[in-house]
Amino acid sequence: MLAVSSLATATSGTYSSRVEIRLTAPNRRLGVLISGRGSNLQAILKAIQVGDLDASVALVVSNREDAMGLVHARTAGVKGEYLNSRDYANRDDYDAAIASLLRARSVGLVCLAGFMRLVRRPLLEAFPNRILNIHPSLLPAFPGLDAQGQALEHGAKVSGATVHLVDAGLDAGPIVAQSAVPVFDTDTVDTLSARILVEEHRLYPQVIGRLLDGTCRLQGRRVICDPPASASARRLPADN
């Protein structure tokens, strides 16, 4: 297996199974990109606060001025910036501006948390394989908007949350972790969304921690992570 550190995969969206990439970040400073409510941001901040996640949030960037997540960031003493896309000539320039804000705060890992824009080349190149997203479905099912509504409409019996690496596609990058929930006949978009959100808030900080620990690698499209230390400790007595 060839070990390379490359940005080709994230920007092109093509993955070779002959290439293995160790997923790491140069530091534990997070940049969180949001567009709205910011409950996943809050879950990340909470996990840091209670000691479940060894990281800090160095910067929150929103493309919406009225995003509640900006209020949550500032309340937690985290720098929150609003960047208006209309101030930039095109989408690439806008993403280049986000990348320089993140770099100026020495961000090591970028977490999209309800950021309602496709990520463009300047940002992908600045953080190759170091941008995560959380999506409220079991990808590759139901990418894009209203994933919970799509699942209900389709008649899915199981849905859930996915954390994936971000590439140039829509919710298309390699899957890092997923958590499933049942879909009940009585569900509405609201009840299903609430059930999935509980899993999102649990899963996202956990996956961020694993990435920061450098325990995951990319083989083709597959993200393979070492078992958590506690899991290998649990296995030891049976192995002996």
Q: What are residue 148's phi and psi, to 5 degrees?
A: -70, -40
Residue 39 binding ligand GRF, by CB under 6 A: yes
Question: Site for ligand GRF (CB under 6 A): which residue of 30, 134, 163, 183?
Answer: 134
Residue 174 binding ligand GRF, by CB under 6 A: no
Q: Would residue 154 show up in a list of annotated catalytic residues for this protein? A: no
Of the candidate spans 8-16, 90-98, 130-138, 174-182, the one that interacts with ligand GRF by CB under 6 A turns out to be 130-138
What region does 215 belong to: left with phi over 0, alpha with psi -120 to 50, or beta? Answer: alpha
**DSSP string covering 157-200:** SEEEEEEEE--SSSS-SPEEEEEEEE--TT--HHHHHHHHHHHH
- Give the active site residue among 135, 154, 164, 201: 135
* Residue the block writes with tokens 């139901």: 142
Question: Site for ligand GRF (CB under 6 A): which residue of 44, 200, 209, 223?
Answer: 200
Residue 160 binding ligand GRF, by CB under 6 A: no
- Which residue sits closest to ligand GRF, CB atoms considered? 114
One-letter amino acid of 196:
I
What is the total count of residues that contact ligand GRF (CB under 6 A)?
A: 13
Residue 28 binding ligand GRF, by CB under 6 A: no
Task: Please report, for residues 45, 94, 150, 156, 211, the alpha-carbon distance to residue 189 in angstroms, rounded to integers and kept in the order given.
Answer: 26, 32, 9, 13, 31
Of the candidate spans 34-42, 50-58, 120-128, 208-216, the one that interacts with ligand GRF by CB under 6 A turns out to be 34-42
- The tokens for 154 are 């389709």
One-letter amino acid of 49:
Q
Question: Site for ligand GRF (CB under 6 A): which residue of 15, 23, 32, 40?
Answer: 40
Residue 137 binding ligand GRF, by CB under 6 A: no
Alpha-carbon distance 187 to 194, whole Å?
10
Question: Site for ligand GRF (CB under 6 A): which residue of 136, 160, 173, 174?
Answer: 136
Residue 31 binding ligand GRF, by CB under 6 A: no
Q: What are residue 182's phi and psi, to 5 degrees?
A: -75, 155
For the chain, how many residues are written? 240
Give contact residues for ligand GRF (rule: CB under 6 A).
Answer: 34, 36-40, 69, 113-114, 134-136, 200
Q: Which residues are catalytic?
A: 135
